[in-house]
Amino acid sequence: MSYRTVIGLEIHVQLMTKTKAFCPCRADVFELPANTAVCPVCTGQPGALPVVNSSMVEYAAKIALALNCNVHEYSRFDRKNYFYPDLPKGYQITQYFYPIATSGYMDIDVDEQVKRIRIRKLHIEEDAGKLIHEGDSITQAHYSLVDMNRCGVPLVEIVTEPDLSSPKEARLFVEKLRTILRYLQVSTGDMEKGALRCDANISVVDEINNIQSNRVEVKNMNSFRFIEKALEYEEQRIIDALKNGQNVEKETRGWDLSNRITISMRGKEEESDYRYFPEPDIPPVILSEEKLDQIKSTLVELPDQKVERFVELYKIPRYDATVLAMDKEIADFYEACVKKIGKPKEVSNLIMTEMLREMKQLETEQIKITPEHIYELFSLMDKGEISIKMAKDIFPQIFRTGKMPSQVLEEKGIRQISDEKLIEEIVRKAMIQNPKAVEQYRSGKTNIIGYFVGQVMKETKGSANPQLVNDVVKRLLEGSS
Amino acid sequence: MFEKMTIEDCLNYNREELITQSYERIRSIDPVIKGFITVVEKPQINDGPYRGIPIAIKDNIATKGIKTTCASKILENYVPPYDATCVKRLKDYGFVILGKTNMDEFAMGSSTERSAFFATRNPWDTDCVPGGSSGGSAAVVASGQVVAALGSDTGGSVRQPASFCGVVGFKPTYGLVSRYGLIAFASSLDQVGPITKSVRDAALMMEIIAGKDPFDSTTVSRKIDFLSQIEEDIHGMKFAVPKEVYEYEQLDGEVAERFEEVIRTAQKLGAMVERVKIPSMKYAVATYYVIAPAEASSNLARYDGVKYGLRIEETGLRDMYMKTRNAGFGEEVRRRIVLGTFTLSAAYYEAYFNKALKVRKIIANDINQVLDKFDAILTPTSPIPAFKVGSISDPLTYYLMDIFTVPANLVGIPAISIPFGFVRNKPIGLQIMGKRFDDGKVLRIARNFEKTSPYNDNGRIRLPVVRI
């Protein structure tokens, strides 16, 4: 390959603090009726002043620590000045000159390899409102409405170095970041609801001719899949241009979901001058060492640490540990099960296959299954009352209803058949019906045993104890009746 | 005589009559003075120790349910949904807000001629300006329409009109009075202050309006005693007079003469006066006129026709913005927005704004060093007395008049203007600047001058007889 892709990300994270960044309005405004979570401060009334929400600073510091950043004792707010109807003050309060944190990193797993992505800076800022254009098109609309609920919702912006070298890596980075945010309980991380927003800067280097393309900014990628799709599309578009001896425009493009392409959002328009200057209404933020230590002490075990611990403690494959640690709830669930049951690998198998599959189909957030259910399931298997296959068969029902495994078995009328006489009867019948197979076995073709086991399973609808069936078939075929 | 009454006088007066008398005075005098933009028809009367005492509020301070225009067309019909913290506190103590006073648009000016609506007249000479930008507040207090008023001071806007109208104007230490509800001009310089008929009244109002406000993070929790030491003498104090005062070319000769009397009075009071050099003071005006417009250009961005205030309908967003702001802002406001937008732009930020921030620090260091050795710095409040309406048109001449008042804002220190004599039958003011948080001491020094001034009657300032 003679083309090398260079990607850097700018990610906005909505913090789930109780109140907004600089006023007492509630911060969880998604889907609230328009302009119902507003006050003089966030609507930019003349004379209103911002007051820093201290939880916001704590949340930001938590994220910064989790991303191995250098968290600064002194940071400051600045004004970014521009005109737009969703920005009631005519400026956004952000951190430009002295961000709260710089120079961190996050490791991602790419094809079984660990890759370190450096983080340039992390700063706090406020969100803007929303415009609703009549008829949904900004160019055709006769009027537009402004919803200021989102004005002043606290955001953390994370800017990476251009260390990502493929669209897949970009997706993996954002996925991992979301996992961390959820571990920290500082953001819902819901991309669909705009709680996690990702913009990317992408360029491609033609390594043979040593030419780097212009950098293109891609926006509107509001799901993990679209991050990868949009960047793949853009990557190819740039490579095609380079192949033809051309370059792409240095511009901002948006992912067009319906046509699955990126389209130009702004022309070549010169860069805006935001006239940044220190926000005179807010004193500098001082995060003392003690305060930072206190925040550090509240940090939970992060995914990377959890993976290491799971591998070490439970001796499960790194792959398993990584999958389990992707979701803190799953990881906690897994650990609770293993503590009760033991069998770390078997439990991991069950959770990774059966439980994760069910969770993907789950529509509500409510999970009814508890480690108690898994414990009973394993006990039933241990006692030989059900097979692993039966356990898997009834799992969906346990998961969806929250009923105990024994209750599900009873209701379904399924019970493992461990009645030796009954099994013998079925085997004998099969032997009579198929004397040829018996002969084959006795002449040394011992793998014909599977046929008889299959017959028993067919007759019992799979509920016979497999170990017992095996024993009985062997014993009868060998003629020691 | 209602028109001469101070807040303290009112305490022993039939409170029910105060409001009636105030309205009568407004009705007869204000058509000439034109101090009010809005006179409240049905004022809210709360209980409290100062119940029934009528006051006025500068029209850039938010009053719930009462139009607050900043003397600008862009906010001509704006009614705030909330009270400024200082307003709320005064109301809680029983003060009654009778009206909102005229000012230079968005507090940008020193004459109140730059109101978008009309010019206010000086009660001492109605051909003259009352000063500004709190000219309306100073004029309605001096002419006895209300007992006291609030102004705002970004570069001298309380002190200079107080000087022109012969009343007391106090700019507190930055951070003592909440700016919540004060419509921002230059946030790092703005401070609300009282305009009164006595130094004691100013201290008394400070007792009420000062204090930490959870809605303004730049307020400090430090407790200041404004009133209890005010009558103590100033024997043995040391005052500095900057040599630069005398070097200033535009200093009116008669103002300089009166100022010599100030020095003699100080000595009579047992204080020592020394001339000192504060070389960086000469950069104060230039520094101020970089920082203030820069902050203003950002503070005034919210007046965009989208949410409230004036809107000129246009089909495109950009056109709506431009037409609205062009029609809504007066010439001086537009000049300062352009100036500030320029000095903040990426290409000029270092050369102008950032340099101004550095010079501001140097000025602060120099002045604080002087205040480490002296109890106060004395200057005339303004180099000239009130001038005729329409007589000055060059903006630079206007800006340069702020020479003595802007340093206190740049440094964030307390400063007061009290009447001290007359020049060509118009009052002039003495400015006293003190160390940060020495507000109590500044008021005490002012009170001593007030008691001893040969131009006062038994320690009471003289008030004008308005010719109707």
Region of residue A326 (phi > 0: left; psi between -120 and 50: alpha; otherwise: beta): alpha
Q: Which residues is B275 bridged to in the sheet?
A: B241
Residue of B60, B214, B344 with shortest CB distance to A277? B344
Length of chain B: 468
Check residue B368 and give its pLDDT: 98
Show Cβ contacts of residue A351 under 8 Å, excluding neighbours closer than 6 positions: A324, A330, A333, A334, A337, A374
Please name which of A200, A235, A252 lies closest in space to residue A221, comparing C-alpha atoms: A200
Report yes or no: A286 at the B interface, CB cutoff 8 Å. Answer: no
Please name which of A331, A324, A313, A373 lies closest in space to residue A353, comparing C-alpha atoms: A324
A347 plus A468 within the same structural domain:
no
What residues in chain A have per-residue pLDDT under 50? 268, 481
DSSP annotation string for B67-118: ---TT-GGGTT---SS--HHHHHHHHTT-EEEEEE--SGGG--SSSTT-SS-
B459 vs A386, higher pLDDT: B459
Last residue of one domain, picked from the residues A245, A265, A290: A290
Nearest Cα of chain B lies from the Cα of A38 at a distance, in angstroms, of 12
In a domain, A296, yes or no: no
CB atoms within 10 A of CB A269: 8
> Domain range spanning residue B432?
2-238+376-452
Instruction: Tell me which DSSP letter residue B66 carries.
Output: B
CATH number of the domain enclosing B161: 3.90.1300.10
Range 136-165 of A in CB contact (< 8 A) with B:
146
Check residue A268 and give its pLDDT: 46
Check residue A417 and give its pLDDT: 74
Instruction: Tell me which DSSP letter residue A446 carries.
Output: G
With the C-alpha atoms ordered B87, B90, B94, B96, is the resulting torsion angle positive or negative? Answer: negative
In a domain, A295, yes or no: no
- Measured CA to CA, the distance from residue A174 to residue A196 in angstroms comes to 9
Report yes or no: B302 at the A interface, CB cutoff 8 Å. Answer: yes
Contact A277 B341 (CB under 8 A): no
Q: Is the pLDDT of residue B429 over 90?
A: yes
A117 plus A81 within the same structural domain:
yes
Alpha helices in B281-427 (DSSP H): 284-299, 317-328, 331-344, 355-373, 395-400, 406-411
Give this complex's ipTM.
Answer: 0.95
In a 10 Å sphere around its CB, with 0-12 CB exposed, 13-18 middle and 19+ buried, how is residue A216 labelled?
A: buried
In a domain, A306, yes or no: yes
Tokens of A20: 């907004």
**b/e string for B177-203 if b means 16 or more Cβ within 10 A?**
bbbbbbbbbbbbbbbbbbbbbbbbbbb
Active-site residue (options: B133, B152, B178, B198):
B133
Tokens of A35: 């302009």
For residue B344, the chain A residue with the least C-alpha distance is A275
A273 plus A305 within the same structural domain:
no
Last residue of one domain, picked from the residues A271, A290, A309: A290
**Cβ contact B35:B134 at 8 Å:** no
A196 plus A307 within the same structural domain:
no
Q: Is B393 a catalytic residue?
A: no
Mean pLDDT, residues B328-356 taken together:
96
Please name which of B235, B222, B121 lies closest in space to residue B174, comparing C-alpha atoms: B222
**Cβ contact B159:B381 at 8 Å:** yes
Check residue A410 and give its pLDDT: 76
Check residue A363 and give its pLDDT: 67
A332 plus A459 within the same structural domain:
no
Please name which of A475, A480, A419, A481 lies closest in space to residue A452, comparing C-alpha atoms: A475
Interface test with B, best of A56, A83, A147 (most B CBs within 10 A): A83
The three-class DSSP label of residue B347 is: coil
Residue of B184, B214, B344 with shortest CB distance to A47? B184
Interface test with B, best of A25, A38, A39, A49 (most B CBs within 10 A): A49
A387 plus A444 within the same structural domain:
no
A360 plus A271 within the same structural domain:
no
**Cβ contact B120:B144 at 8 Å:** no
A271 plus A390 within the same structural domain:
no
- Measured CA to CA, the distance from residue A56 to residue A124 in angstroms comes to 8
A403 plus A281 within the same structural domain:
no
Instruction: Tell me which DSSP letter residue A306 carries.
Output: H
Residue located via tokens 């959770």: A351
A100 plus A213 within the same structural domain:
yes
Check residue B225 and give its pLDDT: 96
In a domain, B307, yes or no: no
Residue of B182, B308, B341 with shortest CB distance to A275? B341
- Measured CA to CA, the distance from residue B220 to residue B172 in angstroms comes to 12
B175-203, pLDDT tens digit by residue? Answer: 999 999 999 999 999 999 999 999 999 99
Span of A371-375, B98-102, B459-463 with lowest mean pLDDT = A371-375
In a domain, B355, yes or no: no
A318 plus A461 within the same structural domain:
no
Kindly report the average pLDDT of chain B as a whole number: 96
In a domain, B255, yes or no: no
> Domain range spanning residue A458?
420-477
What does the angle CA B164 – CA B166 – CA B171 come to, to the nearest 5 degrees? 80
The answer, yes or no, to whether the previous bond of B133 is cis (omega within 30 of 0) is yes
Tokens of B422: 């007359």
Report yes or no: B321 at the A interface, CB cutoff 8 Å. Answer: yes
In a domain, A370, yes or no: yes
Check residue A418 and give its pLDDT: 73
Check residue A171 and give its pLDDT: 96
Q: Is B133 a catalytic residue?
A: yes
Report yes or no: B42 at the A interface, CB cutoff 8 Å. Answer: no
- Measured CA to CA, the distance from residue B437 to residue B455 in angstroms comes to 29
**Cβ contact A108:A176 at 8 Å:** yes
Domain count for chain A, please give it. 3
Domain count for chain B, please give it. 1
- Measured CA to CA, the distance from residue B184 to residue B94 in angstroms comes to 26
In a domain, A227, yes or no: yes
Residue A86: what are its φ and ψ, rounded to 5°? Answer: -85, 5
Q: Is B157 a catalytic residue?
A: yes
In a domain, B429, yes or no: yes
Check residue A365 and give its pLDDT: 66
**Cβ contact B467:B253 at 8 Å:** no
A280 plus A319 within the same structural domain:
no
Chain A residues with CB inside 8 Å of B68's CB? 46-47
Show Cβ contacts of residue B385 under 8 Å, excluding neighbours closer than 6 positions: B164, B252, B255, B422, B423, B424, B426, B427, B428
B25-66, pLDDT tens digit by residue? Answer: 999 999 999 999 999 999 999 999 999 999 999 999 999 999
In a domain, B298, yes or no: no
Tokens of B123: 């009660």
With the C-alpha atoms ordered A426, A427, A432, A435, is the resulting torsion angle positive or negative? Answer: positive
**b/e string for B231-263 if b means 16 or more Cβ within 10 A?**
eeebeebebbbbebbeebeebbeebeebbeebe
Residue located via tokens 């370059």: A247
B136-158, pLDDT tens digit by residue? Answer: 999 999 999 999 999 999 999 99
